[in-house]
Structure 1
Amino acid sequence: MSIVKSSREQGFIQRTDFFEVAEHPQSQRLYQINIRDHVIEQFLEDTSDISIQQLEYVPYMRFVVADRLNSLTNGKLKEVLTTILHDRNTGGYTTGTNSKTSESDDYVKFSTAITHLIGEPNFDSMSGNYYARFSVTDIDNSDSYLRQPYRLFTLHTDGTFVDEATDWLLMMKMKEENAVGGESRLLHLDDWNELDIYSNHGLASKEITYKAPSSKNVSKEIKRKTFFQINNKPCMCFIDQFAYPKNIEEANYLKSLSESMENDPSLIELSLPVGDLVVLNNTFWLHGRAAFEKNSELNRELLRQRGCFSE
């Protein structure tokens, strides 16, 4: 069966000798892609001589590891990954390394292969690289919600304060110790009960100024519309922390919009094992994070990549 012709309503399932695609057990909007053990093992062996420094310093090596993973699936994985992300009915999936490694370098290689099959990551100014790794621990003195463990990280899209397209987002769990809570909170725009109210509001297409805090290493101000259309469907660009409305009306609109999403019954909390990742279409999926339970030994490390689709 071709995934290109499948519909979400039919519940697509594809099985090959190289991977299996099935509905995600936690969400009817997501797929779960289980790459076969032998593929993961061979990929790790074939890329064992490629260092992380090579990936960081030699950009074409990122496509080399992507090609290796795709070749091990008889050239089929790239089509599956990209088609799902472009499908408005779903636009997201999880996959992982099947506990075949616990090495952080292997996680970087695997996530790099995935992203370079769907497009090209943007430069991440926070890390100074094409990917960012960051930890969430008990004590935090940062200037954004990203590393603050005991508060709700509200729903948002990525790339609001950068002057480039951010079509997709990848988040991978690298490490987790003494963590209770902290689930990824996700909302697909088409499941939001009050989408029509806010996307048709008079301020929906008004440009809002976004400014990043100092930790993001981005000084340029960006103006973005909260709602825009792709293929005649509403898409969104929003993060509450970095929006600078010009007046009370704009502020009340953004506050009400955020509260509506946070309280929507369709919001899901996704549990992600260490070594697994989630990839989302950033134009119609909102994401955030639940609060952790207090623990002085809390330690979670995440990897993030975000970027644009291949032409």
Structure 2
Amino acid sequence: MKMNHRLTGKVALVTGAGNGVGKEIALSLARHGAKVVVNDLGTSEQANGTAKGAADHVVEEIQRAGGQATASYDSVATSAGVENAVEIAMEQYGPVDIVIACAGALFPGDLTATDEQWQRFVDLFLAQKFYLARATVPGMAERGWGRFITVTSEGARGTLGNPIFAGAMGGVISLTKALANDYANTGVTANSFAPGAATRLYRATIGDWEKKHAAGEISDEMWQAIKIGPGPASYVAPMVTWLATDAAAETTGEVFSVGGGRVSKWSSYDEIKTIYRGDHQNVPEWTLEELDQLVPTQLS
């Protein structure tokens, strides 16, 4: 791991850093000089069990290459776990400058989910980002520099079904955009990225996608693309690392899709078409008959 100095002096906390995308980002940040807290609970793909090995192996790899890293085994699905991970960073290196919120797992995301499954899903995928922001972003703003980067998914657009997953991932985008807005001109940026990578979580979903293909729920073309895979996780890390550098100081409130040799920026939430009948104080309300005519012709 060749070291350079673009992030020298910065302290980074990467959640879900024991495997896959999170691991590659942790390695990349360390390679560019950051001191990294490698957070990983060490669960299975389905969030079962705990183990220290995943985080420890990444820490050892960074240290062997001459970087600085320490492990956190906390569950960032809880506010206490996040606070402890941030405290580990503070004790080892100082205040957190960079947060990469990557931790995730496979939970049922459709309408068969139980109340408990729903809550676990929301805690890990959405509440994690709020807990991390609450624990780190105000301090970043006080010091005049910070990078808050969250993982989202193509699923946020609803294209993968699974409404719980879509809702949580969409919520991550909205939360991140709001942070970018609230902390504009403070030196803190907030961005999201949707990774495409052949990680262990990706491989664990192949069987489900095969069943959907057999049932006619996805096209032959989509199934072939899934089987080929999106490329290694290491291809995601450079863009995320760039977002953590000084060069990205003017990039905030954005969502990027990153995978293989491709980086794409998503559109913002904008009004794209309008029907208008004047000041609401001086005109009657819309009638359903008017909307029968105007919505299909003017807003579709």
- Answer 1 or 2: which has greater strand percent: 1
**Normalised TM-score (structure 2):** 0.29
Q: Which has the larger radius of gyration?
A: 2
RCO (CA 8 Å, sep 6+): is it higher in 1 or 2? 1
Per the normalisation by structure 1, the TM-score is 0.28
